[in-house]
Structure 1
């Protein structure tokens, strides 16, 4: 009898272990109760890189006369430096934003904790500058929104001790309802005020009403990125350097063909990359080029046809995208086929949005696809040195982060691929 009972238990356990992961149900949009604050009180504080050793502090006030001043220093309430910036606001149909402040501070020391205050009043904030050398930790999550799963994702990102957050589009899911931009800023402030958030636009940032409202007015007003510092003419695409990484943020929803400003800027930007100084080359945009999910199938094909040859010739290591509400990782790939000199493509549009997950995949999966799952979560890229990085994806399993995919990625720097590509890249950069 004992033997039979043990056998039954073993069988049940084996069946349970082999069963497909059962995803938790959707969670509702977060409710933000009204919280009256003084009109000059800084709200929606977030920070971003703004060129070498500088940081841009962004916040919103209801008081139109509040100064765009940031006081800061390396010890609490002892502000030894001060910077004054610029401000903007916008109107969208019947909505008028608060005063949106953008102030650049610096030069700052690398890997250093700073204390700062916005507008001469309100609470004190802390930020930590990224390191100038490896190792460096990047958190990655797109398509965030404002649901219970978003909160879970943010909590898990906060646990990973990241230096920089990369967001490949679809931030607030405001979808024309402007106060949702305000609540999103409130939701992410605890994280985004303490570490740089580098973002690019998605389709939910477009908010275009023909003859009435220009697209991206909300996004561009609130989330100013270092496009001017990287010689771009548009906030929709730019680049930055951090700790041996050159990161390029591209726009899926602005012109990208070979005659476009974005394409020509990309060529100019790539021509300045020195892989001795920045051995890792990363690219982010919203619509994935390699996607085996039924959702948004083929939407990135035109951009891929225009830009993939250029990125391949430059030896891009990893490409991050969002848009598809699921996770997928490829082998190194180029032109639809595995290629040891191609980029690893990672779709990570699973931050917690209100639209839910994209469950249906093509079957059989393409040869370039090695891991895919429709679950909410976030990714962590720990770049250890000039040649090796550890990528992991963490599923939101209820309220616990569960590491579900992990792989070491070897940089193309020093691999022999870059030597082969050098002539090809020079030819492409010289083309008018």
Structure 2
């Protein structure tokens, strides 16, 4: 009880506690990782990762070199003893001179919340284990964008592995394959230790496009390999969808598909927001790749079009936090709307600093905008712990000589607890009902 009183006082003041080291020297970029060939039997499951697939279900994805390998997952709560089995689907694709392996997607469930399951893909091969998220608060998210495959990527992944998180959120730019399709395979192997154990929920960035005019549509590789629960959330595209964890409703939007008011994505977003029940999910988060609030010279203004189309809708819906990538640095805003601090606006966080090969974005615009609280060009990751229906703790951890150093932190109060949701109820209704 005393702890909650302390938290309440801290949150009410909305105090941001930051650690800034004046003599900190940012590290240099690290080289792209090189992967040794490690031939495996054709049936062997590779690039295993999991994602949420609706309430009480999980999608298991893996790749095999054997086209005849079944898309079957056996699973249970005891190692080596599988009480359930699920049959899924598979796909593959060709990209110029590259042919993918057989990509399997199998949904397992119903699963108990906050429970460890052991599973095996394809009827043979190694055993993996996963842990389902909790049904209630607290729930913790690891957040990082623009990962790539460098020495800093590996450092970031090691730090995330030390975090006691339930779900990984990634706002775009995964593998940095950039048309070299084998780099999708090495990325899948790189993240498998983490992505096979905790669900990874991702949205696309510019490096996932890989379109070739007249030859290849965009996002073919991404859509084939990283299938998200778009169908489960009523979306017609893998590029935007939503899902719920504990008491949090999370919307993943696409910065690189149509988003104007006449677009399918905008129509879906309105329909999705109309279904949000803030008594059931008091926290509302949104992720996409290109930040709207960015005081870095890199990619300045690139999110303005999407912001003009969607910010008023997200504001009326009382979105608590917006998480983006793209800019290879970290920045956190005050609650903001329409370019100005607003107690009923969202906290915007740019976290495109996972470890990509393009390096950090050092150039910031001065003076620092009024809405910007903390900004730094360093590699790192974020952790968001939703403590209860009203309080959340956000922290950003800089990669400092391979040690995760907490460099920015803040308690955040949900807008449900502020009265903003009830104040904007009619405004949201009018926007949702507009043709």
TM class by shorter chain equals over 0.9
- State the Cα deviation string for residues 271-296 of structure 1 (Å, max 9, x = none): 00000000000000000000000000
Secondary structure of residue in 2 paired with 1:254: coil
Q: Distance in 1 between matches of 2:268 and 2:370?
A: 33
Q: Distance in 2 between matches of 1:18 and 1:279?
A: 36
Say which of 250, 260, 275 aligns to 2:278.
275
- Report deviation, 1:130: 0.1
Q: Distance in 2 between matches of 1:20 and 1:325?
A: 21
* Structure-2 residue corresponding to 1:95: 98
- Report deviation, 1:26: 1.2
Secondary structure of residue in 1 paired with 2:359: coil
Determine if the alignment matches structure 1 residue 23 to structure 2 residue 57.
no
Say which of 122, 125, 135 aligns to 2:125.
122
Q: Distance in 2 between matches of 1:391 and 1:50?
A: 26
Say which of 16, 34, 45 aligns to 2:48.
45
Q: Distance in 2 between matches of 1:268 and 1:345?
A: 23
Determine if the alignment matches structure 1 residue 184 to structure 2 residue 187.
yes
Say which of 403, 426, 430 aligns to 2:429.
426
Q: Distance in 2 between matches of 1:300 and 1:130?
A: 32
Determine if the alignment matches structure 1 residue 220 to structure 2 residue 216.
no
- Report deviation, 1:19: 3.6
* Structure-1 residue corresponding to 2:155: 152
Aligned residues: 416
The structure with higher relative contact order (CA 8 Å, sep 6+) is 2
Secondary structure of residue in 2 paired with 1:307: helix
Q: Distance in 2 between matches of 1:211 and 1:94?
A: 16
- 5 Å-filtered alignment, 1:192-207, equals 192-207=195-210
* Structure-2 residue corresponding to 1:164: 167
Residues 84/18 of structure 1: CA separation in 2 closer, same or farther (3 Å cut): closer
Say which of 109, 114, 124 aligns to 1:111.
114
Q: Distance in 1 between matches of 2:199 and 2:433?
A: 34
Give the number of the structure whose alpha-carbon radius of gyration is greater: 1
Normalised to the residue count of structure 2, the TM-score between the two structures is 0.95
Say which of 312, 327, 333 aligns to 1:324.
327
- Report deviation, 1:18: 6.6
List, as ranges, runs of 4+ consecutive aligned residues in structure 1 with deviation greater than 6 Å.
none
Q: Give ranges in structure 2 of 5+ residues lacking alignment.
A: 1-19
* Structure-1 residue corresponding to 2:70: 67
* Structure-1 residue corresponding to 2:361: 358
* Structure-1 residue corresponding to 2:385: 382
Let me know the Cα RMSD of the aligned residues: 0.7
